Amino acid sequence: MSLADLEKQALAELESTSDEAGLRAWHNKYFGKQGEVILATKKVGTLPPEERRAYGQEANRVKEVLTAAHDTAEARIKERALEQSLSSEGIDVTLPGRPLTRGGLHVASRILREIAAIFADLGFQIYRSREVEDDLTNFELLNMPPYHPARDMWDTFHTTVPGVLLRTHTSPGQIHVMREHCPEPIRVILPGMCYRYETITMRSEIMFHQVEGLAVGEHVSMADLKGTIVAFARRMFGEERQVRIRSSYFPFTEPSIEVDMDCIVCGGKGCGLCKRTGWLEIMGAGMVHPVVLKNGGYDPAKFSGFAFGMGPQRITMLKYAIDDIRQFWANDLRFLRQF
C-alpha cells in the first residue's frame, strides 16, 4: 500500500471510531510495535538510496498528520463520554458538603489582645522586650544585688553562658524601656513569656505570660495607679467590680501592694473559687523604687512612677473558671475549641 493510501485509509477509520476502545485499537493497528505506519517508516532502509529522502519525508508527514488526527479524535471522544456520564448519572445536589474546619486564635493570645486593648484605651503603648536576659537586667538593676534574699522568689533557668538567663518576669523590660525613652514620660505595658524552674502543677507552669505595666513621669502618684487598676478590673471583669489593696513587698517597688478584687462568682460572700475569703488576687504593683528609676536614667527627685504585673493565664482562669493552668500549653483541641 502506498503512503497516500495508508493515510486515506487510517483517516477514514479514525472518523468512524466513536469510543475509547475503538481508538485504542486504531492506535495499535497503525502505531503499535507492528503498526502499519511504523512498518512503513522502517521500509525506508530497503529502498534504493536515491528514493530514500523523498520517501522518508513523505512518511514523516503522514505520521504527523495521523498523530494530530488521533489527538483530535481522542479529545472529541473524551468530551462525548463526559457529556454522556453527566446526562445519565446527574449530580446529587442533596449530598451534604464537607465542612471546612476554621482555625482560631489561642485563648492566651485572645486574652493578651483583650488586655492590650483595655490599656490602649487608657493611653498605654505596647513595648516588646527580650526573653533571654542577663543577670544584671533581670535582677541587679531592679534593686536585687547578687546577695539579695529576694532572688529566692524566682527559681531561674540559667543558660550555659554565665550571667545569661531566661527572664523570670517581664520587669527587666522596665529598664530597657526607661533607658530608651529617658527623660520622656512613659506609659507602656510589657507583655511576654517568662520562665521559672518550677514543678509543673495545676497552679504553676515553667512558662507563662506576664503583662507588666509602667508609667513614669512628673507627679505620677499612687492614686493614678489605683485608678488605672480599678479601670482595668472593671473593663475586664464587669462594671460592678470592687478592688482592694493590701500592702506587700517587691524589691523594685516602694511602697508595694497586692491587688484583690471581689470574687466574680460569689460577689464577696465566700465560695470555693475565692477560698471563702470573698476576694481574688489579680496583680502585684507599687510605686517604682528610686533605685530602679535611677537605673533607668530618671532622677528620682523629679520623676516618679508606678508599675504593676499580672499573669494573663491567671486572669483567663478566673474569667472562664479554668482550674488547671497546664491546659494552656497542652495543645488539647477539646480545651482550645471552647474559646
Interface with Zn ion includes 266 (CB under 5 A)? yes
Contact assessment for residue 155 and residue 167, using Cβ atoms and an 8 Å cutoff: no
Among 25, 230, 243, 271, binds Zn ion (CB under 5 A): 271
SS3 71: helix
Q: Which residue is nearest to Zn ion, using beta carbons?
A: 263
Shortest reach from residue 262's CB to Zn ion, in Å:
8
Farthest CA pair distance, the chain: 115
Q: Phi then psi for 22, rounded to 5 degrees?
A: -65, -40
Shortest reach from residue 319's CB to Zn ion, in Å:
14
Shortest reach from residue 263's CB to Zn ion, in Å:
3
Shortest reach from residue 209's CB to Zn ion, in Å:
24
- How many degrees, rounded to 5, is the angle at CA 316 between CA 289 and CA 187? 35
Burial of 22 (0-12, 13-18, 19+ CB in 10 A): middle
Interface with Zn ion includes 265 (CB under 5 A)? yes
Candidates 148-156, 240-248, 274-282, 284-292; binding stretch for Zn ion (CB under 5 A): 274-282
Dihedral angle over CA of 274, 277, 280, 286, nearest 10: -160
Candidates 61-69, 92-100, 115-123, 258-266; binding stretch for Zn ion (CB under 5 A): 258-266
Shortest reach from residue 211's CB to Zn ion, in Å:
24
Interface with Zn ion includes 274 (CB under 5 A)? yes
Between residues 11 and 266, which has the closer beta carbon with respect to Zn ion? 266
Residue at grid coordinates 507583655: 191
- How many degrees, rounded to 5, is the angle at CA 236 between CA 231 and CA 242? 55
Between residues 22 and 268, which has the closer beta carbon with respect to Zn ion? 268
Between residues 231 and 265, which has the closer beta carbon with respect to Zn ion? 265
Interface with Zn ion includes 242 (CB under 5 A)? no
Asked if the bond preceding 255 is cis, omega within 30° of 0, the reply is: yes
Candidates 11-19, 146-154, 187-195, 273-281; binding stretch for Zn ion (CB under 5 A): 273-281
Residue 10: all three cell numbers together: 487510517
Closest CA to 225 of 308, 152, 142, 298: 308
Between residues 207 and 266, which has the closer beta carbon with respect to Zn ion? 266
Residue 138 identity (one-letter amino acid): N
SS3 224: helix
Interface with Zn ion includes 263 (CB under 5 A)? yes
Shortest reach from residue 260's CB to Zn ion, in Å:
11
Instruction: Using CB under 5 A, list all residues that contact Zn ion.
Output: 263, 265-266, 271, 273-274
